Amino acid sequence: MAEATRPRSKLLNRGLPDEIVIWEILLRLPPESVLRCRAVCRAWRLATSTRDFLLAHHRRQPSLPIICGYGDRRNILVLDHRATDGQLQRVARLDNTFYPKASFDGLLILSKYDMNGALVFSVSYRSSVLVRDGLHWYSVEQRQPILVFDTTSELFRHMCAPVVSIKSYIFEMDGTLGIYSRDNAMGNVDIWVLQNYEGEVWDCKYRVKLPMVDISGQLGLSIDYWAVKAMLVDSDVLLMVMYGQCVCYVDTDGKLIASFRRNRQPLHDCQGWLKQSLVQHTFFTALKGYSVNSWPFV
């Protein structure tokens, strides 16, 4: 961020310049810690409440995979494999009639069903990703072209997709598109990468043999069915494998590198990502009867 856009403030710490305290220390804290720091003093509260600071802080936040935990209530969780503790962090606790469908700028889009199964509110069942100023949708169940909405021209168009099996998903991969598909019977995951965006040229870059024996041995379970999600983490492609109450990370060499467990609650991948934000969305406060943490969020 340009120096000219940074607000001048009073000395926050006698031993450190304001620029270091605000833009090198407070900016690097997780959202919960930033909120707690506001209680330290009025100067810190003002410094961490400016729009420039909040936008810069949001840009530093990682995009974390969203996971659903099932039980008496539906827990919306995110997984940060880099955290030293509490890797599965709860974002919201919902009525079981709600299900997350998408996320953007810290907002969750939910679908809701009544007790008779009638759809009340929903968004597309396709997986989607934002790349190159375009929102890309890809059919999970059918072999169809990729649907693209150009956010600049506000026009729709189609892109070709690789010939893959059903149950394939699209994801963002270092500024371009990736599509991955799984073969439950063989335990394989194919990952395709769009090598040339303008030419719509795809390449099958990885074929990963999942270490199901290692995973089942470590978890002490016999795994018959599993869910998987491909993701880019710190410039490395990883696979998140889910079964029951457990989540595992596997690299493209098929090596198990980490595992997490949430006891007493089955987990399910929601095919979404959450990037936390402290930036206030003005349209919420404009809603009639708006209140924070009201039903159905508890």
Quick one: 29 and 174 in the same domain?
no
In terms of Cα–Cα distance, which of 121, 70, 122, 115 is closest to 97? 115
Quick one: 56 and 68 in the same domain?
no
| Residues spanned by the domain of 156 | 64-274
Quick one: 106 and 39 in the same domain?
no
Quick one: 51 and 80 in the same domain?
no
Quick one: 95 and 157 in the same domain?
yes
Q: What is the mean pLDDT of residues 29-44?
A: 89
Quick one: 27 and 155 in the same domain?
no
DSSP notation for 161-197: -----SSEEEEEETTEEEEEEEETTTTEEEEEEEEET
Could you give the number of structural domains in the chain?
A: 2
State the DSSP H helix or E strand holding residue 202, giving kind and residue range, or none if neither. strand 201-209
- pLDDT band of 64, cuts 50, 70, 90: confident
Q: Please report whether residue 250 resides in a domain.
A: yes
Quick one: 120 and 33 in the same domain?
no
Quick one: 55 and 127 in the same domain?
no
> Is the bond leading into 296 cis (omega within 30 degrees of zero)?
yes
Quick one: 94 and 15 in the same domain?
no
Poorest-confidence range of 65-74, 76-85, 159-168?
Answer: 76-85
Q: What is the model's pTM? A: 0.70
Quick one: 103 and 118 in the same domain?
yes
CATH code of 180's domain: 2.120.10
pLDDT digits (tens, 9 = 90+) for 174-197: 889 999 988 877 788 999 999 999
Q: What is the mean pLDDT of residues 266-278?
A: 80
Mean of per-residue pLDDT scores for the chain: 79
